Structure 1
């Protein structure tokens, strides 16, 4: 099972993998719960009120009524380093023992200040022998410790700390999508995670410190004195500049706020394609609550000239008897990260 801690929501899911060729394609969602996060508990990805967060995690975990004992918590922040590196081929136990030595020149900070992990993707033959190519993940120790402390305070038996982007990739790269060069783009309230997948392999991860809450702030500023709710207006109007009434100013404000995010996503795709032969993205899969901002998908498709679709994290997954997701009908893409995290290390 897994816990996804976002800036505005805590989600808990328990998934049992299937027994087919790809266990993720025949999984069962046995438990799910979510709870809203009070404002200010997390700011810019930093836990400001650990006691309050622990309370929300405890409540969500209890509401899910899970039966599993192994719990994964996801961490996703722009300060985490995720970089493709090559290291000498060796058993994974030795990889972890020697990882700091092999990657110290790849980091801008001291390896002593980071918790390191390596996600192997393929073997590469070179002049100096066989190397393992994969994703280096370097997380600030203080950040990991803060999250672990919160989960421990909540009384949850934590087993694994995972990068949220890898959970997004596990849950999203299934079926036909897994066979294509795909950009998984999860738009949260304060951050956006991009995973570029090529040849059944995650090749690039980028976390941008921008999200749909940028539109909330812009709309709220434009609506000063009206007494209307910016969140509702964002969902109803969003970036739709075809609105012809007096609300067009709100759509213009949202567009102005989110266009830099769209440009950053486009630049990430361009960078990857130019750096990797055959790496041009064939489709973009949108997930996260921000995916449903009206007009966002169309604006992203226009900027990137790529097909954009909503993610379907529940596709092929059976629901357990106690799971009721009717409240999420039409908004299933919000569950993408927690479903993928709950699928654990299965590739």
Structure 2
């Protein structure tokens, strides 16, 4: 059986009805290019999600985990050992994971799903442009999602998942060595859609702005399903952090703490808020431009649809008052991705902001799917 098949299963599981009873959560593992983020979520009988555990662990120094599949497996094993006591204590046995340079494409593939040669050509072109990955190292899984119950929906299109089989295989083997069973491989924007549904007051039509270190990803979610994804590989929050480092003579760690504590101007404005806004003006302008371009495209393509809310996730979402500032600039209600703490507050081992763990929490939430 293909190791990529569980991703198809994950997609179908999203369409099923949730079970709100007591179940064993899964360990969500979001494997990133700079760190690994782990999360465990719980769900009460009223259907409310809580964050029970979250931890970000950077890759070992000089590990170069993505130089080869073997190096990746060794580095992953070293990182997971640092958090092994968590799933031992919580009796976790199942894990769902995601990988960098892998994703599910929501781009319209206007070909029959059986026309794999044509889809492969389209996919490799997209992968080179967006991710810079080497398509010859990748494997693909193609399927047709169930149609959205929407009178304005486009005709059914194919969706595509890609990943490196050697890396996936090493992941599964490392998890097995840690006495964890890995059966689900899931990717953005499917994880993004599920993360948005975890929030209270989820809207029918939302734009998820995932502002990562090196890349900005914008995903339109309609009725819990991703309908459009746009990437900007030159718009990560790293540029903003670097500009403040240079202006204030701070380290990156200090700058992240300053952004989380003070952030942008809001109701209570200090001179330092204004200093941050002025120093970060170029990066904030890029963010606004990317959001505006996305909203313009969606308004043209789907004129009878409006965006009800913007949800911010990723490292950039940790900037204090960014949601308030964005609402004032764009005029659309904006919120940080945020879950309340559950009963396991004692296992909270991270000073990192909660929006960083949106994907990992989404993966953990698969344990509550029917």
* TM superposition score normalised by structure 2: 0.68
Q: List aligned pairs for 1:58-97, cutoff 5 A.
A: 58-65=81-88, 66-77=90-101, 81-85=105-109
Q: Note if contact 1:33-1:60 (Cα within 8 Å) is conserved in structure 2.
A: no
Question: Within 5 Å, which residues of 2 pair with 1:162-201?
Answer: 162-173=186-197, 177-201=201-225
1:137 aligns with 2:156: no
For residue 259 of structure 2, what is the aligned residue in structure 1?
234
CA separation in 2, counterparts of 1:225 and 1:7?
24
CA deviation after TM superposition for structure 1 residue 272, in Å = 1.9
Deviations 1:52-110 (CA, angstroms, capped at 9, x unpaired) = 3431133234434343433211235488643244676xxxxxx6xx3725734643547
* Distance in 1 (alpha carbons) for counterparts of 2:316 and 2:124: 31
Contact 2:104 2:190 in 1 (8 A): no
| Equivalent residue number for residue 307 of structure 2 | 281
Q: Secondary structure at the match of 1:190?
A: coil
Distance (Å, rounded) in 1 between the aligned partners of 2:327 and 2:239: 20
Residue 261 of structure 1 aligns to a residue whose secondary structure is helix
Structure 1 stretches lacking a partner, 5+ long: 89-94, 125-130
Residue 334 of structure 1 and its aligned partner are, at CA, apart by 3.6
Separation in 2, partners of 1:226, 1:111: 39
| Conserved 8 A contact 2:104-2:159 | no
Matched, 1:107 2:132: no
Q: Is this contact kept in 1: 2:102–2:162, CA < 8 A?
A: no
2:216 aligned with 1:212, yes or no? no
Q: Is the 8 A contact 1:193 1:205 kept in 2?
A: yes
Aligned-pair distance for 1:198? 1.5
The answer to whether residue 367 in structure 2 is matched with residue 341 in structure 1 is: no
The number of aligned residues is 321
Deviations 1:282-322 (A, max 9, x none): 111222332121343244324432111223445xxx935x4
In structure 2, which of residues 313, 320, 328 is the aligned counterpart of residue 294 of structure 1?
320
Q: In the alignment, does 2:75 pair up with 1:52? A: yes
**Residues 174 and 326 (structure 1), Cα distance of their counterparts in 2 relative to 1, 3 Å cut:** closer
Shift of 1:199: 3.0
TM-score, reference length from structure 1: 0.72
Separation in structure 2 between the aligned mates of residue 338 and residue 100 of structure 1, nearest angstrom: 31
In structure 2, the residue matched to 1:120 is 145
CA distance in 2 between partners of 1:200 and 1:237 (Å): 33
Q: Which has the higher strand share?
A: 1
Indicate the residue corresponding to 1:149 in structure 2.
170
The whole-number CA distance in structure 1 between the counterparts of 2:36 and 2:337 is: 20
Q: 1:260 deviation in Å?
A: 1.1
Q: Which residue of 1 aligns with 2:20?
A: none
Equivalent residue for 2:294, pick from 251, 268, 271: 268
2:103–2:188 CA contact under 8 A, matched in 1: no
CA contact (8 A) 1:7 1:189 kept: no
- The answer to whether the 8 Å contact 1:118/1:137 transfers is yes
* Cα distance change of structure 1 residues 323 and 230 upon mapping to structure 2, 3 Å threshold: closer
**CA deviation digits over 1:220-241, x for unaligned, max 9?**
1223489993223333444449
CA offsets per residue over residues 242-277 of structure 1, 9 Å max, x none?
6536x8555423232232133212212221221123
Q: Summarize deviations over 1:87-139 as a string: whole Å, max 9, x none.
A: 76xxxxxx6xx372573464354798442243614179xxxxxx972561332
- Evaluate the alpha carbon distance shift between residue 228 and residue 284 of structure 1 in structure 2; reply closer, same or farther with a 3 A threshold: closer
1:324 matched to 2:340? The reply is no
- Unaligned stretches of 5+ in structure 2? 1-25, 126-134
Q: CA deviation at 1:281?
A: 0.8
